[in-house]
């Protein structure tokens, strides 16, 4: 896709192999709304090597029928790293995490959470769960849905690109363990506007081969690796 005006290039905040299930390369707004500063937001999940999008060792129907343990998802607990140098302006921990992922329940909870937030009944943690916000020279970054007890930074702390800020979880308005990542023009996501983002360097799987891509904006369901 052509680079949108105002594009900010940052380091990829994850390690290993991931897939963007929501990305501005697919549509803008990527999450269907400009609210909460998420016009250009990404949702990253971690698959295994099987064909399709297998996010846990169980059968594909397991989350729909019986549910799957949250900690059995490949992405759960994976480290999340600062995307640029900056200062931590929010660090929320202690939001509880559901122990199992059951698709129908998660979908219903997501609708209820969206309605509550839209009506002003709840702060950023209602949607973002445990989260970290880092303010840098060009933008503020939000790392959302982190696992309880894993937030590794504190408000006011200076961080360098690549420094651990937390671990992937399933808190807030989440339907399965994943990292929600976005750039904003303000530190408070309730008032912020989204800023378009690209990642400095990634390996992207295309036609069965891994290609090095600079200023990458991952496509929907495109397999990517950190370099």
In a domain, 3, yes or no: no
Compute the CA torsion angle 95, 14, 88, 183 (nearest 10 deg): -100
In a domain, 114, yes or no: yes
Given a cut of 70, whether residue 37 has pLDDT beyond it is yes
Given a cut of 60, whether residue 80 has pLDDT beyond it is yes
CATH of the domain at 117: 2.70.70.10
In a domain, 2, yes or no: no
Report how many domains make up the chain: 1
Given a cut of 80, whether residue 97 has pLDDT beyond it is yes
In a domain, 154, yes or no: yes
Classify 190 as helix, strand or coil: coil
4 DSSP 8-state letter: P
26 vs 53, residue with greater confidence: 26
Given a cut of 90, whether residue 77 has pLDDT beyond it is yes
pLDDT per position as a tens digit, 1-11: 566 779 999 99
In a domain, 182, yes or no: yes
Given a cut of 80, whether residue 177 has pLDDT beyond it is yes
Domain of 60 in residue numbering reads as: 8-225
In a domain, 91, yes or no: yes
Return the pLDDT at 120.
Answer: 61
In a domain, 167, yes or no: yes
Q: Which whole number is the average pLDDT over 139-158? A: 98
Res. 122 pLDDT band, cuts 50 70 90: low
Given a cut of 70, whether residue 72 has pLDDT beyond it is yes
pTM: 0.93
Res. 118 pLDDT band, cuts 50 70 90: low
Q: Which whole number is the average pLDDT over 58-74? A: 79
Q: Are 52 and 62 in contact (CB under 8 A)?
A: no
C-alpha of 212 from chain center: 22
Cα 181 from Cα 190, distance rounded (Å): 15
CB atoms within 10 A of CB 165: 25
Averaged pLDDT score across all residues of the chain: 91
Given a cut of 60, whether residue 159 has pLDDT beyond it is yes
Of 14-18, 123-127, 208-212, which range is least confident?
A: 123-127
Q: Which whole number is the average pLDDT over 163-174? A: 96
3-class SS string, 84-132:
CCEEEEEEECCCCCCCEECHHHHHHHHHHHHHHHHCCCCCHHHHHCEEE
In a domain, 125, yes or no: yes
Tokens standing for residue 197: 């983002």
């Amino acid at each position: 896709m052509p680079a949108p005006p105002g594009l900010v290039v940052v380091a990829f905040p994850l390690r290993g192999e991931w897939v963007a299930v929501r990305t501005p390369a697919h549509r803008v707004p990527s999450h269907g709304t400009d609210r909460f500063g998420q016009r250009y937001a990404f949702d990253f999940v971690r698959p295994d090597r099987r064909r399709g999008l297998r996010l846990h060792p169980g059968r594909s129907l397991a989350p729909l029928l019986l549910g799957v343990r949250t900690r059995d998802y490949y992405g759960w607990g994976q480290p999340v790293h600062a995307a640029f140098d900056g200062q931590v302006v929010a660090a929320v921990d202690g939001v509880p995490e559901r122990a199992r992922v059951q698709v129908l329940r998660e979908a219903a909870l997501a609708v209820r959470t969206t309605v509550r937030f839209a009506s002003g009944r709840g702060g950023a943690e209602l949607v973002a769960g445990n989260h970290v916000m880092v303010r840098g020279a060009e933008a503020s970054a939000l790392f959302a849905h982190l696992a309880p007890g894993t937030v590794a930074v504190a408000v006011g702390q200076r961080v360098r690109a690549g420094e651990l800020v937390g671990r992937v979880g399933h808190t807030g308005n989440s339907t399965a363990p994943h990292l929600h990542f976005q750039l904003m023009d303000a530190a408070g996501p309730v008032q912020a506007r989204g800023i378009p983002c690209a990642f400095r360097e990634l390996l992207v799987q295309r036609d069965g081969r891994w290609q090095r891509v600079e200023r990458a904006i991952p496509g929907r369901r495109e397999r990517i690796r950190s370099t």
